[in-house]
Homo-oligomer: A and B are copies of this chain.
């Protein structure tokens, strides 16, 4: 029997170069599967929807309290992206309560690049049209969560939906005196983008359907908002409950878990108040681990559903295995 060795393998596969150039019985598909995945929470049917993922050169200060070299080293160790790069996925959630279709967050919208902005297409692939959405809940006002509210022509992507925005974020990002204090190009860009997004919403024809919501309230049937500040001042997570089942939608308590869940004291460049975000992370994951709660993350590896356990000085995501039964 052949020895299991690298040499044998490489020798064995060398003949590949002479594979015949004939036509395949079926052409290659050339595109990825539509990105959606269903699961149940009690009587509710949830669908994780991919808006896509961005792969980009590791920014100089992606982890603001660690070096770029350390970030690249960790990304390579965890096979996260091609060398020197990082990948961040974006995955909104659709909740069908039986009486309402509720979308939490809207993705990056149509103007970023080929591998993001796919939420409307993936929503349709999952059998739902944007016109059918009853409620859009925004977790926090950052472009990768809000810019999908508008189509390329500026019209509302979900024209019949009530749109609700965290009260604290609305007040914060619309306040010109806060914008005046912005120091970094990233923060300035956030203020510019967010001011435009919220102003466009306020001016939209559907103005009467746009409102703000407080933390700790049931913002839709069975969906309770949770104050998880730090990433933005008004950042919100959610508890979704139906019958005896209950899960947490964490939104951006971490960015990619391989970095910021394993290392909860690392600070991602997108956090507005890094120390408050760090405190929120510990509080949220200590609770999730103790409760053995199912946690859904916007930047988790698709399909974004898992459990949290304590591991060393941080936490570990145990992704839930793809289920065939609903």
Contact = CB atoms under 8 A, between A and B. Distances in A.
Contacts of A226: 2, 4, 8-9
Contacts of A25: 100-101, 132-134
Copies in the complex: 2
A5 B224 CA distance: 12
Contacts of A241: 13, 16
B52 A324 contact: yes
A91 to B, nearest CB: 9
A3 to B, nearest CB: 8
A24 B224 contact: no
A13 B218 contact: yes
A180 interface: no
Nearest to A129: B26
B326 A115 contact: no
The 10 residue pairs across chains A and B that have the minimum distance between CB atoms: A2-B216, A12-B224, A302-B322, A13-B241, A19-B221, A16-B222, A1-B227, A301-B321, A28-B45, A22-B99
Interface of A: 1-2, 4-6, 8-9, 12-13, 15-16, 19-26, 28-38, 45, 47, 50, 52-53, 55, 78-80, 87, 89, 96-101, 114-116, 118, 126-128, 132-134, 168, 214-218, 221-222, 224-229, 239, 241-242, 246, 280, 283-284, 287, 291-292, 301-303, 307, 318-326
